[in-house]
Amino acid sequence: MGHPARPGRHGRPGHLGDPVRPARRRWGDSLVVENNYGYENPTSLLLGRSVVGGATRIDVRPDGSGCDTVWESAVRSPSTVPKLSTANGLLYFYEKEPNAPGIDAWYLTAVDFRTGERRWRALTGTGPAYDNNWAPITIGPDGTAYAGVFNGIVAVRDTH
C-alpha cells in the first residue's frame, strides 16, 4: 500500500507533513492509499511492465466509529505518493500502465478526489529516464505539477 495524500495549510497545496486544515468537508478525515506492489527498483518496470495498481479513498466516519471506502480507481502509480490540490480538488498520480509492445510510457494523471474518476492524463515521456523512482509530485503556486525523474524534472500544467 502507498501513503496518504493530504492537503496543505490553509487550503493550498502542500507537503505531507503540513497540518491539515480542511477547506471542504471530507478532506481532513480522508486518506487515499495506492497499491504499488511490484515496484522494487527501476528495472521492475522495464519492457512495458507495471505494478498491480489501484488506489482507494477511505473516509473516517465523523463519529470515529470506523472507516468507509468511498471509491476505488484502477490508476497505476508505481512509485509516488498522490498529491491533492485543494485548489481544484484533483489528486495527481505519476502513472505507468502495462504495455504489450514494451513501451515504457509515463503519465501525470489527475483523478477527481470526490468521485475517483480520471479527469485527464498527460504523457510526460517514454523510457526508463522518465521513471520518478519515488520522487514526489510537487504542485506550484500556479497549479503546475512537477515530478523529479531520472532525466531531470517534468512539469505539467492543466490548461482547462
* pLDDT tens profile 84-126: 998 899 999 999 887 878 888 889 999 999 999 999 999 999 9
pTM, entire model? 0.76
Q: In this structure, how many other beta carbons lie within 10 angstroms of the beta carbon of residue 75? A: 23
